[in-house]
């Protein structure tokens, strides 16, 4: 138990508005969307400045009190919930550190505090005629600190890269309470170790992110959204290559959905419909955009689709003629996770393989699962453009939910072994958290895992920073 003395001392550091022990206030911060984990803590701190955060972390370090950083609490792997391990942990929320610090349109950069949402970043950039390209389903709630700590991806990675590629600089509180000021907006800085890169994707184990600076891009003024039906993932992969070539590499979204997944959406999500009058094994949602009006782009896209129809790579397709129609296309993709809930339990895998290996991976993994677990409904969907799939396995119709979910670990191992054989990763964008610690230990090369642990020990010798994630 954390003593009353420590709770009161930390409360004084962050002030009356910056701490709470109220169970009703704490409750929403102690569970995730999947309801797979439930945390516990006696105290949540909500610092408003980096100085307050630094003082709180220093106090925790001096008294060996473990802490867990939390942003928008949109994670899915138990990475930002306190109390999941043996240690008593306090929660440090960045919700009161939510300002846009500056938008530098000429430098194409934006700086914001850790509690600022991705949606707020997008809006601030757009107000300056710029684009912050990171986009994901939780963008209205997920925050700067969270996307940095998990190296978030989303739907635009095929063109703009993930958070690591977009980050220019970071300010963070290190485990001893010192403030690491790497908040640069430079594109070139060869002055030793790239410490920012250690903090990105570290899931709060090496420090508490308080601010970050990101790259911006020219605002898109023209966007074309397509919904295509195809016969195979192999055909979809061929279309990805030809689309990038035909449009001058302006494909910003290239999403894959199986017909099974589309049926889930149409059956359970109101006001949805298939844009095509024919059913197909697979569907593609594609966005192609440009920052300057380009009448030739529309023609190039139409010619590309016509060619794909004539050579059989595309079976049927639609190009949105309005923003409303484009939104209807997008609703089908964005409703996939919610629709699956109505079909029963699912065992999920957030994996990536080299784009060229996606068709073979899906074929082998699906066949192996269907042979091993009779009646399962394999539903892979996601970001074909960068090789990241949400490889979800639905329970058989009529099966017992509890009995099905008992296969979680064994099914994860089966799928992950196939992923590794195809040169992939067991965590593409959600992180390791508490959920995948054992799998990380099982699949990560020994030298890499040893180096990671050495870095953790060097920066956090007392092990106070999010101690229940990444490592067993």
Split at pLDDT 50, 70, 90, the class of 47 is very high
Overall CATH class of domain 4-93: alpha beta
* Dihedral sign computed on CA atoms, order 394, 400, 405, 407: negative
Give the per-residue pLDDT at 85.
81
In the chain, the percentage of residues whose pLDDT exceeds 90 is: 96
pLDDT value for 472: 84
Domain limits, the chain: 4-93, 100-218, 222-338, 344-429
What is the rounded average pLDDT of the residues 329-355? 95
Per-residue pLDDT tens over the stretch 97-117: 999 999 999 999 999 999 999
pLDDT over 90 (residue 171): yes
Residues 112-139: tens digit of each pLDDT = 999 999 999 999 999 999 999 999 989 9
Per-residue pLDDT for 295 more than 90?
Answer: no
Question: Region 290-294: what's the mean pLDDT?
Answer: 91
Please state which of the four CATH numbers 3.40.50.2300, 3.10.20.30, 3.40.190.10, 3.30.70.2190 is assigned to the domain occupying 222-338: 3.30.70.2190
The residue-averaged pLDDT of 249-267 equals: 97
> pLDDT grade, residue 87 (50/70/90)?
confident
pLDDT score of 86: 74
pLDDT of residue 14: 97
pLDDT at 358: 99
Checking if the pLDDT of 5 tops 90, the result is: yes
User: What is the pLDDT at residue 182?
Assistant: 96
Mean predicted lDDT score pLDDT of the chain: 96
What are the pLDDT digits (tens) for 432-456? 999 999 999 999 999 999 999 999 9
Would you place residue 238 in the very low, low, confident or very high pLDDT band (cuts 50, 70, 90)? very high
User: 418 with 358: CB under 8 angstroms?
Assistant: no
Domain 344-429 has CATH 3.40.1520.20: no
Q: 220-229: per-residue pLDDT in tens? A: 999 999 999 9
Tens digit of pLDDT for each residue in 188-215? 999 999 999 999 999 999 999 999 999 9
- Angle in degrees, 0-180, between the axes of helices 408-421 and 358-372, rounded to the nearest 10: 150
What is the CATH number assigned to the segment(s) 100-218?
A: 3.30.465.10
Question: Does residue 287 carry a pLDDT above 90?
Answer: yes
User: Does 4-93 match 100-218 in CATH topology?
Assistant: no
> Residue 410's pLDDT is what?
97
pLDDT for the residue numbered 162: 97
pLDDT of residue 34: 73
pLDDT at 451: 97
Beta partners for residue 407, in sequence order: none
**pLDDT for res 35:** 73
Percent of the chain with pLDDT over 70: 100
The pLDDT of residue 284 is 99
């Amino acid at each position: 138990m954390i003593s009353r003395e420590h709770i009161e001392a930390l409360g004084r550091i962050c002030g009356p508005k910056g701490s709470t022990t109220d169970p009703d206030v704490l409750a929403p911060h102690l569970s995730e969307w999947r309801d797979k984990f439930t945390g516990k803590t006696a105290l949540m701190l909500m610092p408003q400045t980096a100085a307050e955060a630094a003082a709180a972390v220093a106090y925790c370090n001096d008294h060996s009190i473990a802490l867990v950083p939390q942003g928008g609490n949109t994670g899915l792997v138990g990475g930002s919930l306190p109390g999941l391990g043996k240690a008593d942990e306090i929660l440090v929320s960045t919700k009161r550190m939510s300002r846009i610090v500056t938008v530098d349109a000429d430098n194409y950069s934006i700086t914001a505090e850790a509690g600022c949402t991705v949606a707020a970043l997008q809006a601030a950039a757009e107000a300056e005629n710029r684009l912050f390209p990171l986009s994901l389903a939780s963008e209205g709630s997920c925050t700067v600190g969270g996307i940095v700590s998990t190296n978030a991806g989303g739907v635009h990675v095929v063109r703009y890269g993930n958070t690591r590629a977009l980050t220019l600089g970071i300010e963070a509180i290190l485990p001893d309470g010192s403030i690491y000021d790497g908040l640069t907006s430079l594109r070139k800085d060869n002055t030793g170790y790239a410490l920012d890169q250690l903090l990105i994707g570290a899931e709060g184990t090496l420090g508490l992110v308080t601010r970050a600076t990101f790259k911006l891009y020219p605002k898109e003024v023209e966007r074309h959204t397509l919904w295509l039906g195809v016969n195979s993932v192999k055909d979809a992969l061929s279309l990805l290559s030809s689309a990038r070539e035909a449009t001058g590499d302006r494909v910003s979204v290239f999403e894959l959905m199986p017909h099974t997944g589309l049926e889930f959406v149409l059956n359970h999500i109101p006001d949805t419909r298939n844009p095509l009058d024919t059913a197909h094994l697979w569907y593609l949602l594609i966005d192609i955009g440009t920052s300057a009006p380009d009448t030739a782009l529309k023609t190039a896209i139409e010619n590309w689709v016509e060619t794909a129809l004539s050579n059989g790579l595309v079976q049927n397709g639609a190009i949105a003629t309005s923003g409303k129609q484009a939104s209807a296309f997008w609703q089908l993709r964005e409703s996939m996770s919610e629709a699956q809930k109505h079909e029963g339990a699912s065992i999920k895998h957030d994996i990536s393989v080299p784009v060229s290996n996606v068709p073979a991976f899906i074929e082998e993994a699906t066949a192996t699962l269907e042979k091993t677990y009779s009646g399962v409904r394999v539903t892979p969907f996601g970001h074909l453009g960068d090789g990241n799939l949400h490889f979800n396995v639905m329970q058989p119709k009529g099966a017992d939910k509890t009995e099905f979910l008992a296969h979680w670990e064994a099914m994860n191992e089966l799928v992950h072994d196939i992923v590794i054989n195809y040169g992939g990763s067991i965590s593409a964008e959600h992180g390791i958290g508490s959920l995948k610690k054992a799998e990380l230990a099982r699949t990560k090369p020994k030298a890499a895992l040893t180096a990671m642990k050495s870095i953790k020990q060097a920066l956090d010798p007392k092990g106070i920073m999010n101690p229940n994630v990444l490592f067993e």
